[in-house]
Amino acid sequence: MRPTTLRVALIQQNTVWQDPSANLSQAREHVEAAAKAGARVAVFPELFTLGFTMAPEPFAEPLPGPTTDALATLSREFGIYLVGSVVESHLPHPCNAAFVTAPDGALIAAYRKLHPFSYGEENRHYTGGTECPVFEVDGVPCGLQICYDLRFPEPFRALAAKGSEVVFVPANWPARRISAWSTLLAARAIENQMAVCGVNRVGRDPHLEYPGKSAIHDAFGAVVAMGGDTQERVIGDIDLGQLRAWRERFPALKDRRTNLYPLL
């Protein structure tokens, strides 16, 4: 039987710029605290071992590789699902990839960011992905998106059509656009009747300031838990029973007229 609640921990960290060892060294503390708080899944920000670097090649690694192995070890030790992201080796450019490790240490999902952030020239340094996989956390169907993907409703709708109830969004979302972050997290939740969990970093990199505001939104778009602007773990319980009941009582997704949309 699928669970009716899911406790999620968003690891709102102050990422050390381009220093994988420093960032991985603090990961264990975060995971241990999340597990002690009863979280079944903990989510790190986008490129949590590096920051949002536009010099990815020196840090590229296979998937699975060293970073997935490091989180797999923590998953086994603390019996928790973990969502991380990494610069994945790929030609002609690396991919900005998110992944999920299970409590037994298995790598159960990998997702490549569909929309490299062209405004920040990410598209010049990273290759975009092509798929939106669905995976399970304790039997709960879930999906992944990364940062700028949040501005595009189509992949969230695709995940909803595949049955996803929860979508995790690791990000490096800067302070100057933080109002859009909060609005879009709520919008993606409301329009797809799903829980959306966005985790943003805090602190600064060489170019931008990051204000946190990591948040878990329920299927009505309401805030279940939200972080401030300092390093912390944002923990909240998603009411999956309520989500499923809302989808059944108000089946908006069934009213889509998909035959018309290619014409629009």
Model confidence at 131, pLDDT cuts 50, 70, 90, reads: very high
Is residue 264 predicted with pLDDT exceeding 90? Answer: no
The two structure tokens encoding residue 45: 């920000």
How much is the pLDDT for 215? Answer: 98
Q: Which residue has the tokens 């070890």?
A: 73
132 is catalytic: no
46 is catalytic: yes
How much is the pLDDT for 170? Answer: 98
Is residue 70 predicted with pLDDT exceeding 90? Answer: yes
How much is the pLDDT for 252? Answer: 95
Question: 109-119: per-residue pLDDT in tens?
Answer: 999 999 999 99
- Could you say which of 61, 147, 165, 232 is catalytic? 147
Residues linked to residue 100 through DSSP beta bridges, in sequence order: 83, 109
Q: How far is CA 140 from CA 3, 146, 238, 260, in A?
A: 7, 20, 11, 31
147 is catalytic: yes
**What would the mean pLDDT of 171-175 be, rounded to a whole number?**
98
Model confidence at 2, pLDDT cuts 50, 70, 90, reads: confident
**What would the mean pLDDT of 137-150 be, rounded to a whole number?**
98
How much is the pLDDT for 206? Answer: 95
Cα–Cα distance for residue pair 5/39, rounded to 1 Å: 11
The pLDDT mean for the chain works out to 97
- Could you say which of 95, 113, 122, 197 is catalytic? 113
Domains of the chain, residue spans: 5-255
CATH superfamily membership of 5-255: Carbon-nitrogen hydrolase (3.60.110.10)
- Could you say which of 46, 88, 165, 232 is catalytic? 46
